[in-house]
Each structure stands twice: as structure tokens, then as C-alpha cells.
Chains A and B, each alone.
Chain A
Amino acid sequence: MTDAPTLPSSHIDKSGSNIKLWLEEAIWGHRLYDDQTPWLAMLEFLNVFRSRMALGKALREEYGPERHEDIVYDMERMRAVRYLVFNNPYMRQVEQSVVSDGERWKRWLEHVGDNALKVDFGYLKKRFNDFSELCRVVEFFQETAVQVQTNKRWTSRFIFPYGPDCLYADLDGVGEMLGSNDRRFFARGGEILYLMMNRSTRAAAVADAIRGKLLDGTNRWNRLVKVLLRDGHGQQREQVSSVKAGYLPCIGLADYDRLADDWLAVLSLGLPGQGLVDPLVRLTGLSVVLYMLGRARSVTGESEGRLVLEIAAPRRSPILDLSKDNFDSNRNAPLRAIERRMLDVRGMQAWKDAVADKHDPKQATLKILAAEFHWNPPQADAAQFATPAAALSAMEEAARKRHGQHFAKVLPNWSRAIGLATARRSVGTWYSPSDPLIKALVMANVPRQEEFNIFLAKLFDRYGIVIGVTEAERSFGSLPVDAQAFRDNAERLEHRMRALGLVRRLSDDCAYVINPFAGEPQ
């Protein structure tokens, strides 16, 4: 089945009611989930990193051929800060309706006095010269908060990660402590990223780069958050503690190194760390998309994948239709993989033996399904399965349903979120890159300047991206669509990149992609 060696998942507590089937998890890890967007995965990752960094273990986690990493981490709650920024509607009203500073404090403290967190916000009076200063600071964090599409509860809204003190857990909002660690939005996607980077060959370098560029406590905006913190912040009870990280099956994959290399390239650029987060989110999302497709192919045995990108054209080009087919095929790859896994069970000797069992074939086969897939249907249901085949069918049914509810949405959601895929009514969804994604790809792949065709080749070599005719020939063998359509596609990309200031054409046979943030040559 899978060719890459995998680690045991014994450290995962599968006894809880949440894990009804261990199918996608065995292939891709525990876990990737549709409600967790790439940005939320990034935030979760930074939380894990920061916690381990405090112990000096960031991306230095031990693991072996038979031993999965054993990672336990903490996350802050930051109750006061997030209340001030995301659950504080009276502040502006008070500032506008009351004139005297003393009166403003009094009125506002009255409003928030009875808050469910049982926090006394009086300490803020000492921190700020006047009430409007507090308003400006809170507004700053509101205006720059991480934007997410869905209307989230306020305890699932996040300030921009300027530094280590801006990070906190997702909480379900219940009670004085704002609830417990909720697995809907921090669904362990960040843990998977952490494990991937830990297993890359350049893990140590990545850790240093992250520490230096993204989690620098001296960053002024990071220090600004501290001004909002209560005295006594940092105490143990304020944290979500001892969270055990999830599971990543494969020990070593090229995907891990690609992810690490992209991060290293971007973190070395001459931009402030906060300007690097968005490109990193997109590139990380791309790596995860490719990882998912790659693992699916390992299971099903399908040949090399590709991403056919159509560059926006004034008229519908044949590349768009090709890209649409490509997207649809990719979208269903995980489903094909889990179907294949379940199908393979039938070929197992143990299964055949269980079916042929003289005493209780149903019981025997159910045992196999429990062992392989952790499927334990309730007693009442089990009684209804007339034959082993019926039981397997029921499991397959349950698996498909479960897959459709969440996992199946990850690929299309993530592809859209990072600007890789575009959706249009009456056309559908296909791969068409957005400007920020194009810029992120340049930031990660062009050290200073690179000839345009070499750049296209690099995109193909590293990500399987097909835009121009040369890569199309390498990927398809014989072209499914007229060669001129691919040439036009590449030309449109060049024009688009010129408008973004990323390409200079020197002559008829020479165009160069320029990375605007490249460091000076050594």
C-alpha cells in the first residue's frame, strides 16, 4: 500500500468518542480538518512552536524509526486582551458620548465591570495617559486582526501574530476562564505542520529563522500587547496546559523538506517579519495541498500529479477546462485513497480467514475492522449486520459519509484560501493563481533574479505546477491541448508579473523574474 515508512500512532488516545474511525488519520495524520483554515493552522503552529521554544526544544523533538515524537505543549489564554479587542463594544461609544477623561474611565469600567471573566480592568488606568490612548491601541489590534471569512464567536478571533506574546489558544467561550481548548479551529493542523518541520532535514535552521524573524519578543507591536496584559498574567492557571500533539504518519517525505526550504527562503528576505506571515501561510497551504495529493497517490498507486494553472484571460481558454478537470480529479483523490484502503482489506489474509471462520465470522471480521480502522459500531448496529460483507459495507458507508462531512472539504477550501484556486458561478472551480500567491512563489523561489523560463521550470520541479508549454510537455507527454494555448498562458503570466513589478523583459529572448525583497549578494 504505502511506500513511505510510517510511525506507530499508539500515543494517540483513540478511546474518546471523537475518533469513530481511524482512516484518513492513518494516511495523512491526526489531523487536517476543514474548519481550520491555513491561517488558523499557522496560528496553531506558532503556539506549539513558542511553547516548545521556551523549553529549548523547538523543532528538536526526538523521534525514531519506531517512535513517534512525544510532544506536550501549553498555550496562553490571554483573556483580558482578547476581551478588550474583540468583546468590547462600549469602548468607542463611551469615547464618543462622554467628554471628560475621568468620566470616560468611570463609565466604561462600569460597563465592563460585571464581565463574565471576573477581570477587573482598573489596571488599565495606570497604563495609559488617557482613555483615548487605550482606544487607539485597542483599535490598532482590531484593525489588524487576522481576517477570517466565517462569523466566529469572539473567543475564536485572533490578533495579528506580531510576536510570541500575541499568541493564544482557541477557546469555546464557556465560563470565567473562557472555556477549554476547542478542537474546531485549532484542529491540530498546526501540530501537523510542526511535526513536518521537525522531520525536515533543515529543522534546526528553520527554528532559528522563526525565532529571529517571527517570534522576536522585542518587536514593538508585540511589546504593545503586553501593555494590555493584567498584572499577574503568566500564572500557570491562566494557561491551557499539557496539550498532547497529534500524529504524522510518514517519517521522511520530500514534502517536509519543501515546506522547510520555502520557510527558510522567505524568512531570509529583507522584510519585517509581519510582512512575511501572509506569504508563508500561502506557501504552507500549497505544501499541505501537495502533501495530501501525494499521500493519496501513494495509496492508490496513481501516477505523478500536477497542478495545471490557468492565468486569467479575457476569453475562456482551453487551459481553463483542462485546469477544471485537474482540480476535480485532485479534489476526489483523498476519497479514492480511502476507498482503496478499505478495498485492500478484502485482500488481506487475516480478513479471508475471518470470513471463513467457523464459529462467528461476523465477530471475527468486526475484530479485524476494529484493529485496522478502529471501527466499533454500537452493539445494536452490529447485530443488524447479516454477513461480514454487510458489515464492511456499513463501514464503507460510514467512512464515506464522515469523509464528505469534513475531510473532503479540506483540499478545495485550502486551495481557494491560499489563492491557488478560483471559483466562478456557471464555470465552477479551477486552478488560477491570485496576485499574492504569485508574489509568494517568487519570494520563495527566486534568490535575486531568475530567467523566466527557468522560474517556470522550478515551479514545476518543486510543486508540479504546469503553466507553459515546456512543463506541459514534461508533465503530459503528449499535449492534451494546443501548444499555443500553453504559450499564451505563460505570456499572460509574464504580463501579469510585469504589472506586479516582478518581471523585466530585457529583449525578445530574455525576461527575468526579480525578487523585490532579495538580500544583497554576499
Chain B
Amino acid sequence: MHKNPLVDFLRHYGPIPAQDNMYDERIHEARERAGVAPIEAPPMRLGDVLGDLRAGGPRVVILTGTAGDGKTFHCRRAFEELGGDAVEWAKGLKLVAVPLGDGRSAVIAKDLSEFTATEKEALLPRLAAAANGHGTDAFLLAANDGQLVASFRGWAAADQARQPLFREIEAMLVEGRQKSDRWRLSMYNLSREMHGALFDTLAGLIVNHPDWKHCCGCPAKDRCPILVNRDRLADGSLFRERLAQVIDLAGANDHHLPIRHLLMLVVNILLGVAGDGKSPLLNCKRSQRIEPKEATSPYSNALGLNVPERVRFQYQAFAAIDAFGIGKETSNVIDDLLVYGHIERKEDYAKAVSADPLFGEAAHRHSRAAYLAGDRSGTPDFLKSLEAQRQRLFFTLGADLGGLDPWHLTVFRHAGEYLEFCASLREGRPPDKWTPRLVRGLNRTFTGMMLDVHADVLLCSAGGDGRSRVARFLSHTLSVSRQRRAPYLSFDWAVGKATPRMVVIDPMARPGEPSPGEIPLRLTHFEYLMRVSSGSLPASFSRQCFEDFHDFKLKVIDRLDALFKDADDGFIRLEAVEAEASGAARTKEFSFRVPTDD
């Protein structure tokens, strides 16, 4: 029987229950046994790390993240790029030094968890000294995020003077900051990168792996489900592009997928098979016995449908993708196409469904025919098939079917717009296309009234403890366009961060003063504002977003109240906001003379 050792090797990356801390060993052994060339993703932060180390003067560079996201790999590559000897590295020393050429050395600790408590006691003070600007050496430290804070917390517990550095490291980790203002310290969190591009690279490495050549001579080559899936993930495929977008968006929602999870996803797409009861992954033997069919559909595999439900969401990749609800949402246009398109919209139908003989038409035809004939006994099957088709369409709907937005098949209907919004901000272009709707959503959230106001933000208070739904009294108005003196609201891409943010800018503030308020605009927040803008009730789509924006409003009001105190002229001025029928905001002004105290 023909076997490709690459397939057996790839299975080790897949969603098979295994001990996480044996992961690296397992992969290494399997690869050696299979005689397969290694799959190495390029170290994305290498340039930054080397730049920092070479920059001159003492400093500390921290590489953090979670297990398997390439920290050790980065350390090795940095060591090599700085001129270190591979033999030296292979010794596996906990601490290695390599001269930087200007009399200084770069000292590399490739894994903090290897250090004993005593060794940490010796190492951490050296790092602190360098961060404080003493000595000449630059340090590169790699540690998992949990390990990192736990180690520094323990070290700082012994001496109050150590607390500020620990708290800075902690804050940089939580806020996603890369550079410290007070210390000679930078931090790169490999888990928190935009991993869409990395996913694409990894998929490419696997799909184009030289050892696929071993499939030559296999009798089942022409109908191998694995090779079909490999084909679907070819370079430049819309499937891969859309997957990358989903992964970036999940990252923008704080659902980060480090390398090991991305590899699992790729392998599952290639080898996944549903319903067989044995293993969720194919091997060469099983593959030769079956045809490509719904059970091996790469689109279903991408959602982890081949993995039993009770364990599926333990795999972060599937949990992150599931958060999008792909296939659970839809639009009338798309469902019409799937149910009646073969009769009423033949051209579009051909492009969307018939064009895929394996997973499109063939899979869908029978259950639909029964449904349309009035047979209700097969309705559950039909609904399942419909959902599968929506999932497939999500990954394959392209520009040629202009009227159909694939994001309508997910919970985040505005995700496509969010991607454009982010691109716009990253490139420094003003997001005017979206600002009016975002502001309208904000105003409805802040006031609890169905207003149609999109040029200014109305910061309204409710009185009492501030938590009631409707807030009528205008505390401050913020313009959305740049101002010279008055505070205004702006959208930008925070430096060194992974998400856009909404920020109140005070043009009169002294440099270094914190802004009156800012809030990261994750995908959920963007979606929330867009939905509220189109008529959703503020508390219904996402409680978390409602609370986040509410807290933001209260904070900003507090800061602006401190900056713009009421005039002490014996009068109180209030502005109450009312919604007119057209949605415009009408303000009624009251002013009262305050009687002087007796």
C-alpha cells in the first residue's frame, strides 16, 4: 500500500489528544523518524529584536507569548545573526553570550522556565540593572507570559524598590506596549501578532512541502481527499485569504492564535474527516478507501466539525473561529440562492454552487430536492446541508458575485468593513467612510435615545448613579473633526498596538499628559456601534460593549468636568437633550440663578 511519510508526520500537528508539554519532543521525534524536512515559519520579530540589541547601551529585550509560538526559535536565529556559533547553541546552555562588536555582549536566556529559583535570583537583578541603564550588556529574555509575570512578581516581593519595574513589565504585557518610557526595556509578545499573514505563510509551507512528491505512484492519487483539500488551500486561493482574514479579525477581538494552533488548523483542514468514530484525521490507508465527500470537506474541517463536539472548543483555533458563527447567520439573498437559485438565478448559482462539483452541487442537491418537493421528513438533513453550504460559501464567495457579502454569513456582518477601516487607519487615511455611523451608534449608546446625530458626540449624564438607560443632560459635546482648542474625538491606530482605538484628544494638553479617554475598537465594538447605528438596542448585541462604552463615557465626563469647570457666577446652566421625530437632537437650555447662602 502506498504511503507518504509526510502525511503521517503532519498528523502530529493535528487535534489529537496529546500532552502539551511533550509537544516539541513529539514533533521532533516524529520528523526524524519520517525523514521529513522541517516546517519553519520565519521569525517575524527578528528584525526588531536585533535592532534593539544592537542599538547601543544596556537594555533588556523581552520575548514573550505562549507555548510554541517561536520564542526559542527567535532566540536561536538572533544568536546566529549576531555571529554566534551553532555548536555553542547546540550545547543547550541556559544563558549564552555573544559579542556585539562594540565591546558589548548580547546575553540570551532562551527560556526562563529552565532557570531554578536560585538562578533566577542571580539573573533578574542583572536584567533590572540593564533596564535601569547600568552596565553595557544587552539582554534578550524569552519567557511565557505567565512565567514572566510570576518570576518578576516573586523577585519584586522581596523589596519594595523593585515593584515599579515589575509593574511596568506587567502593564506592558497587559496593554500590549512594546516600548517602555521609563526603562531601557522593550517587549514583543509573539502571541499577539496579527497572525493572518503567518497563517498564510504556514499554509504555504505545508501545501508546498517538497515531500508531497512521495504521492507519485499512488493508485488513489486522482481521487484522494487529502490531495483535494491540499488543492483547495493552494497559494492565492480565496479560501486561504479568507481564513487569514478570520484569523486577523479573531486577533482583533483578543482571540490570539499562536503558531502551534495555526499549524493544527492547517493540518485539520487537510486531513480532517467527520463521523467515522475512529480518528478525526485521515491517514493514507483510510484515504485510499474513501472518496472526497462532505465528510472530508475542507470548509467543514476549518470549523473543526470533524472533531467531536465535547472536545472541539478546547482547541483555541476552533473556539476562535466558532465565535464568528459562520453558517449560523445568513441573509435572504444568500439563502434564496441556495434554495431557489438553480431555478431563478442560474448564472449566479452556477458560479456559487455548481462550480464546485465535490462540495457544492453534489452535496446539496438531494436534500434540497426533497425539501422543494414538499417532503418534510428530511428537513433536518436539509438544514444541515444548508448550513454546510453557507460555510462553504463564506470561504469561497468572491468579487465575481458582487451582491453577496460573505460576512453576512457570520455574526460580524460588518467585518468586511472593519477590515477596510483598519487598513485605512494603518495607512494613515481618515476613516470618513465609517465615522458618521460609528458616531451615531455612540450617541445612541450614550443617550439611550434614537438620535440621528453623526457630526458630534453628545456626552450626556443621567444623574443618580449614572447607570440608567436614558441620559438626558448634556455634559460635553465633542466634535469629530480636528479642533485647535476644544477636545475632539478621533480614531487612530495606536502605536505599537494591534487594534485601532477611539480617543479623545485635548489639543491644549501638555505633552505627556494622558488623554481624557480612550478605548480600543475591537471587532466586537465596531460591530456593536454599527448595529446600534442601524437600529439595534444598545444593550442587546453585546453586554460587554455596552459596559465598555458606558465606562468610557463616565471616565471622559469626569476628566472633562475637571478641565472645564462650571463658571462660578451664581448661575447653573443645564442643557437637556430631546430627540425630534427626524432624529435630530434638540437641546433645551435651562439656567437658574442659585440663591446665595444666608
Contacts and interface: CB of A to CB of B under 8 A. Distances in A.
Interface string B555-598: 10111010001101000101010000000000000101111011
A379 interface: no
B548 interface: yes
A128 B572 CA distance: 12
Interface stretch (B280-288, B290-298, B463-471): B463-471
B593 A127 contact: yes
Contacts of A272: 461, 466, 554, 557-558, 561
B171 A274 contact: no
Contacts of B167: 448, 521
B191 A160 contact: no
Contacts of B344: none
A257 B576 CA distance: 42
B88 interface: no
B225 interface: no
Interface residues of A, number: 52
B465 A274 contact: yes
A446 to B, nearest CB: 11
A224 interface: yes
A128 to B, nearest CB: 7
Interface in A217-233: 218, 220-221, 223-224, 226-227, 229, 231-233
A140 B146 contact: no
B254 interface: yes
Contact of A224 (B464, B514, B572): B572
B171 A448 contact: yes
Interface in A442-463: 448-449, 451, 454
A297 B473 CA distance: 49
A498 interface: yes
A271 B576 contact: no
A509 B147 CA distance: 8
A509 B64 CA distance: 12
Interface string A269-295: 011101101100000000000000000
Interface string B467-482: 1100001000000000
B241 interface: no
Interface string A199-226: 0000000000000000000101101101
A507 B66 contact: yes
Given A224-B572, A506-B191, A507-B191, A501 B548 contact: yes
Interface in A485-512: 498-501, 504-510, 512
Contact of B555 (A127, A271, A510, A514): A271
Given A160-B464, A500-B544, A510 B145 contact: yes
A162 B464 CA distance: 8
Contact of A506 (B174, B461, B465): B174
A136 B547 contact: no
A480 interface: no
Contacts of B149: 451, 510
A274 B462 CA distance: 10
B555 A227 contact: no
A100 interface: no
Given A136-B576, A500-B544, A144 B462 contact: yes
B381 interface: no
B144 interface: yes
A234 interface: yes
A507 B145 contact: yes
Interface of B: 65-67, 144-147, 149, 153, 167, 170-171, 173-174, 191-192, 254, 256, 258, 461-468, 473, 514, 543-544, 547-548, 551, 554-555, 557-559, 561, 565-566, 568, 572, 574, 576, 590, 592-595, 597-598
Closest CB pairs A-B (n = 5) = A509-B146, A144-B464, A507-B66, A144-B463, A510-B145
Given A218-B565, A509-B66, 18 more contacts: A133-B590, A144-B464, A160-B463, A224-B574, A232-B598, A270-B558, A270-B559, A271-B558, A272-B557, A274-B463, A274-B465, A278-B465, A500-B543, A500-B544, A501-B544, A507-B256, A510-B146, A517-B551
Interface of A: 127-129, 133, 136-137, 140, 143-144, 160, 162, 218, 220-221, 223-224, 226-227, 229, 231-235, 270-272, 274-275, 277-278, 448-449, 451, 454, 498-501, 504-510, 512, 514, 516-517, 520-521
8 contacts: A227-B572, A227-B595, A229-B595, A271-B558, A506-B174, A506-B192, A510-B144, A510-B145
